Amino acid sequence: MLAKKPPMGWNSWNTFTNKIDEKLIMETADAMVDNGLLDAGYEYLVIDDCWSEKQRDENGMLVADKEKFPHGIKYVADYVHSKGLKFGMYSCCGTLTCAGYPGSFGHEFDDAKYFAEVGVDFLKYDNCYKTKMENYLAYMRMSVALRSCGREILFSACNWGTDNVHSWARAVGAHMYRSTFDITDTFESIKELSESQKDKLVYSAPGCYNDIDMLVTGLHGEGSIGFGHGCTEANYRYHFAFWCLASSPLMIGCDVRNLSKENKALLTNPLLIRINQDEEGRPPIFFGDYEYHAFKVLSNNEYAIGFFNPLDKERKITFNFHDLGLMPNDRCVLKITDAFTGEDLGVYRDYFSAHVGSGDAKMFIATPVLL
């Protein structure tokens, strides 16, 4: 089964848009390995839109852009595979991709054959220039094509959360599905996207995960979705903590060849990734309307507890153990570990509080201990 756990990797779009080529992809593959991203679980390297020529060949097949990829896509895919990574590409369920390159509608079986031949392991499938065909059927067509192409290819549906995608993405065979419009490298966008999915995460589970969009951690206002602003490091912590608690796929969007020490530490944080990758893939439960907290049941008698402060002042956030159904006289206390630092914070009864800075988050792992 593919996507037993939320898929993790890197995607070219957020930083590079159409400025992609063979050199960038190969250097990114090197950097994913050298920076410990592959070891941390980021296994898919995905080339997004703008990789092909504007026209198909005389047989109706896709052709890689000859200037950007002079040795062809298979050459790049082979290199990516030689580094121990998996290789992903992009197409669209309409007649053109969002950036105006050939889309797959009417060519699904040709394109699945092409992707299988060049060694693709992951296909992101976008939603521009749609035909009159019902949206779920357009995705179903590519799902059938991929499943019959002779190669195992993870199907990443990207219809931006439209057409109630959460109600059919799993049914059509997608392994992850975009549930939001495009993220930008701003705290407003992170807040808006995370709020929009709080009541939809119950649909996400092993085999098919709700994708809140690619990570902006490390963009710092650069790239096509940076708009010159960027987020604070606190906002990036909020972003990554929420995506981990939500079991969202983790697709890095920054230039990993120039990753700061701080962002590398965040993106490879072992306890946060363990929360994201928990094999049970359970949804979190949220408490509070403004600053809020949430818990998620993990395997092995553990609970992840997230504290989120989207407000403009520091707040004290309290997790009452009553939220777990515990009562004061129960023979049960919680051992709390700070998921960001790994620090053992001791054993607590009834409640646990922490101060959380503006636009920041904290995350803990709690283990019940019987008295």
Binding site for ligand GLA (CB under 6 A): 13, 48-49, 97-99, 126, 158, 160, 182
User: C-alpha dihedral over 40, 251, 18, 94, to 10 degrees?
Assistant: 140
Cα 257 to Cα 18, 31, 235, 261, distances in angstroms: 18, 5, 22, 12
Q: How far is the CB of 158 from ligand GLA (least distance, A)?
A: 5
Q: Could you say which of 21, 78, 182, 330 is catalytic?
A: 182
Q: How far is the CB of 289 from ligand GLA (least distance, A)?
A: 29
Contact 140, 177 (CB under 8 A): no
Is residue 48 among the annotated active site residues?
Answer: no
Residue nearest to ligand GLA (CB): 98
Closest CA to 247 of 289, 308, 194, 288: 194
160/348 with CB nearer ligand GLA:
160
Q: What whole-number distance in Å separates Cα of residue 108 and Cα of residue 103?
A: 9
Q: How far is the CB of 14 from ligand GLA (least distance, A)?
A: 8
163/182 with CB nearer ligand GLA:
182
Judging by beta carbons within 10 Å of its beta carbon (0-12, 13-18, 19+), is residue 103 exposed, middle or buried? buried
Q: How far is the CB of 18 from ligand GLA (least distance, A)?
A: 9
In the chain, what is the greatest distance between 2 CA atoms, to the nearest angstrom? 76
User: 123: which 2 tokens?
Assistant: 């296909």
65/126 with CB nearer ligand GLA:
126
- Beta strands 250-252 and 315-320 are unpaired
48/185 with CB nearer ligand GLA:
48
Q: How far is the CB of 102 from ligand GLA (least distance, A)?
A: 13
- DSSP readout, 280-301? T-PPPEEE-SSSEEEEEEETTT
120/158 with CB nearer ligand GLA:
158
Q: What whole-number distance in Å separates Cα of residue 101 and Cα of residue 115?
A: 16
Is residue 182 among the annotated active site residues?
Answer: yes
Q: Could you say which of 126, 211, 255, 278 is catalytic?
A: 126
Quickly tell me which residue has 């009834």 as its tokens: 350
Give the residue numbers marked as catalytic.
Answer: 126, 182
